[in-house]
Amino acid sequence: MDPKLVIPHREPFLYVTDVTEIINMESAKGVLRLTGEEWFFKGHFPNRPTMPGVLMVEALAQLGAFVVLSEEKYKGKLPLFGGIDKARFRQQVLPGDTLDLEVNLGKMGSKGGTGMGVARVNGKIACQTQMLFILVNG
DSSP string, 24-58: TTTEEEEEEE--S-SGGGGTS-TTS----HHHHHH
Catalytic residue among 44, 90, 118, 132: 44
**For residue 45, is the peptide bond before it cis, meaning its omega torsion is within 30 degrees of 0?**
yes
Q: Find, among 137, 129, 134, 138, the residue nearest to 58 by Cα.
A: 129
9 is catalytic: no
**Residues that are catalytic:** 44
